[in-house]
Structure 1
Amino acid sequence: MPNHRSPFQTVHESPASTTDPIAEARQQAVTELLKTVTEPILNNNIVSLGMVRNLRVVDGYVYLRLYVGQHQHGLKSQIEDVLSQLTWCKKAYIQLCTIPGVRTTLAISSGKGGVGKSTTSVNLAIALSLQGAKVGLLDADIYGPNVPQMLGLGQSQVETIETAEGTRFLPLEAHGIKVMSVGLLAEPDHPLAWRGPVLHKIITQFIHEVEWGDLDYLLIDLPPGTGDAQITIVQESPICGVLLVTTPQQVAISDVRRSIHMFRRVGIPVLGIIENMSYLLCGHCGEPTPIFGSGGGQQLAEELHTPLLGQVPIDARICAGGDAGKPLTLADPTSLTGQVFLNVASALETTFCSIKHRPLKEVVLC
């Protein structure tokens, strides 16, 4: 018989809890103690943040995976301390799941394609870099891997290197951003016809087998929707927050709500909403015209009790910059669009405190 169980398993959903009342009580005790461990940056407990996964209690032993960034390894010792209060616990086995060298991993998501998610990812990466952060961008959008073209990489060759941990992909670099994309592995104009185990393996390799070096931020450009690829990335990555990209119309808002449900199931917090294609500025009078309606991003932000981080206008230069491999935020950081992304980057800096306030880099156009 096929297994129709949800692919998500949180700390509240253990197979043992339905068969063994002692194990159920012990698992609940472990969960309550883990909720006393707070992640200081996001000011929430590690259970609610989805950092604890695959929790099991077997014969007095506690097993769990802890998904953290490079700066959060100290949480492991805190967990060991709180679990030592359990008189029946013989030992706690905590597996640290992290991306070496990466401090903060953020996902950029949308409920549907065509809303400008990849454009947002690229321009936000540039904005963070301009403010002094070390940034990586993982293009995991298997349906439309456009990041290489948007950053001017084209069909560049991906190299591998040998490390102490084995063979690793070496990311490319464009405009100071380290980049890896599934599009770099495909033939030009050929479909990425990957399914099932092959798709899972490729995505897992891109998460765990890239030599990123030291990064303040790793942005993951997710595929649109809530299918196998998205579930794999969410389950395998130490994502500490997600930014949702939408357009103002209600159709897009409805699709974004489905993505929200996916992230909430694993406890990943929604950090904010970015509304793309919000309005068109009249070239004569300067008045904004809401081509795709208005209010959708604000409505979603109010529903989620999360900030509307920015409203990106319709600007022909955004499209031209993406086609030419020179994002508008890089080409003209003082433009209205550039300022929106720089403001979003500042909001992330304030939240994660991973980079100090430093002057904007001098922009050099090749």
Structure 2
Amino acid sequence: MPSHQSPFRQTNLEDREPLPPDPISEVRNQEVVRCLKQVIEPTLKNDIISLGMVRNLRVVEGYIYLRLYIGRHQHDLQTEIQQILAPLTWCKKTYIQVCTIPGVKTTLAISSGKGGVGKSTTSVNLAVALSLQGFKVGLLDADVYGPNVPQMLGLGRAEVKVIETSNGQKFLPLEAYGIKVMSVGLLAEPEHPLAWRGPVLHKIVTQFIHDVEWGELDYLLIDLPPGTGDAQITIVQESPICGVLLVTTPQQVAVSDVRRSIHMFRRVGIPVLGIIENMSYLICSKCGEHTPIFGSGGGKQLSMELHAPLLGQIPIDPLLCNGGDTGAPLTLVNPDSTVGQVFVQMAGAIATTFGD
């Protein structure tokens, strides 16, 4: 499959900016928001507005339009929304577009403000840790600038198949160590730069969200590109991400970059579920002393600012790097290692959060 083409149908639909709301519609919009804030998602125990599950809300001439981004276990929320909006005397009808990834229960984004902080390494080992705890896990490598997940999982240049389903053509994900994997890197020529731009990039990223036959998954982890460009915004806007895990390193430069990316998630309303600090310290192989090579305190600082837990502090370990190079993640090879235990504990915290 050439890197610059998509195997799927073309579309001529254009995204158009909505007309500015009139005063009456604006007041009604605010009334709808107040009603929707009464709908509580039972797992995260927060309202669907604060969780960013409701997007593209519009009120036009007495009609309510909205998109509802949910997992496979949350379809009852659609009925609850209809019921809570029904008493509005001016409402003629409510149209709800349900946006979900079929078969996927919980979708989590893993993000960083800058490259080089170990985001993909974190994504791979966290996926392994969740799988080791018995969960069905998928990993979507959406880093269009540095798609390294296939190499880190030993997949190399495996060919991606396109299959026919009842819902049209779908990508068939590959599998490594029980984890279902899809990566933009699998569509590119070896050693060639990924130079997708504009509409092609948007289309590729959108189809990687909607046109992959994942099957039944407990968790789908999306490894986002670093920064806040077009690809990141498209993924965040188009996918039912219920929370983001931010990866940083201890130094202030990395922390400052993470702060910039937080604004993107806040625009959509996606909550930050936790902070992961990578390269926190080096463990001396002889005496066991911890040396903070890149400084200290960055993860804790972000945790306090965002009121989000510091899920784990990952030490520097040459075996972690070696595992990525050889396609044998350290958490899989040695889950009892110091690094492995950090990832296992983080996976346990995620499972506790989502009631699994």
* Aligned mate of 1:97, from 99, 102, 110: 99
Structure 2: segments with no counterpart, 5+ residues: 1-16
1:277 is matched by which residue type in structure 2? M
What is the rounded CA distance, in whole Å, between the counterparts of 1:133 and 1:112 in structure 2? 29
* Residue in 1 that maps onto 2:283: 281
What is the rounded CA distance, in whole Å, between the counterparts of 1:50 and 1:319 in structure 2? 35
CA contact (8 A) 1:63 1:92 kept: yes
What is the rounded CA distance, in whole Å, between the counterparts of 2:183 and 2:26 in structure 1? 42
1:159 is matched by which residue type in structure 2? K
Q: Deviations over 1:6-53 (max 9, x none)?
A: xxxxxxx97543xx1111111111111011101111111111111111
2:264 is matched by which residue type in structure 1? M
* Aligned mate of 2:40, from 32, 38, 41: 38
What is the rounded CA distance, in whole Å, between the counterparts of 2:26 and 2:270 in structure 1? 24
Residues 124-203 of structure 1 mapped to structure 2, 5 A cutoff: 124-203=126-205
Structure 1 residue runs of 4 or more that deviate by more than 2 Å after TM superposition: 13-17
Q: Which moved more, 1:137-146 or 1:259-268?
A: 259-268
Residues 85-124 of structure 1 mapped to structure 2, 5 A cutoff: 85-124=87-126
What is the rounded CA distance, in whole Å, between the counterparts of 2:80 and 2:157 in structure 1? 46
What is the rounded CA distance, in whole Å, between the counterparts of 1:119 and 1:152 in structure 2? 13
* Aligned mate of 1:255, from 254, 257, 267: 257
Structure 1: segments with no counterpart, 5+ residues: 1-12, 355-366
CA contact (8 A) 1:171 1:179 kept: yes
* Residue in 2 that maps onto 1:215: 217
What is the rounded CA distance, in whole Å, between the counterparts of 1:15 and 1:234 in structure 2? 23
Share of identical aligned residues, percent? 77
What is the rounded CA distance, in whole Å, between the counterparts of 1:256 and 1:280 in structure 2? 23
* Residue in 1 that maps onto 2:11: none
- Match of 2:304, SS state, is helix
* Residue in 2 that maps onto 1:81: 83
Residues 300 and 48 from structure 1, CA distance in 2 versus in 1: closer, same or farther, beyond 3 angstroms? same
- Match of 2:336, SS state, is coil
What is the rounded CA distance, in whole Å, between the counterparts of 2:186 and 2:170 in structure 1? 15
- Match of 1:156, SS state, is coil
What is the rounded CA distance, in whole Å, between the counterparts of 2:67 and 2:269 in structure 1? 14
Q: Provide the alpha-carbon RMSD of the alignment.
A: 1.0
Q: Deviations over 1:137-180 (max 9, x none)?
A: 00000010000000000010000110111000000000000000
What is the rounded CA distance, in whole Å, between the counterparts of 2:194 and 2:24 in structure 1? 48
Q: Which moved more, 1:128-137 or 1:40-49?
A: 40-49
1:220 is matched by which residue type in structure 2? I
CA contact (8 A) 1:16 1:23 kept: no
What's the TM-score once normalised by structure 2's chain length?
0.94
- Match of 2:73, SS state, is helix
1:315 corresponds to 2:317: yes
1:328 is matched by which residue type in structure 2? L
Aligned residues: 340
CA contact (8 A) 1:16 1:24 kept: no
* Residue in 2 that maps onto 1:269: 271
- Match of 2:107, SS state, is strand
CA contact (8 A) 1:14 1:55 kept: no
Q: CA deviation at 1:56?
A: 1.0
* Residue in 2 that maps onto 1:233: 235
Q: Deviations over 1:305-346 (max 9, x none)?
A: 111000000000001110110000000000000000000000
What is the rounded CA distance, in whole Å, between the counterparts of 1:62 and 1:342 in structure 2? 44
What's the TM-score once normalised by structure 1's chain length?
0.92
What is the rounded CA distance, in whole Å, between the counterparts of 1:270 and 1:221 in structure 2? 15
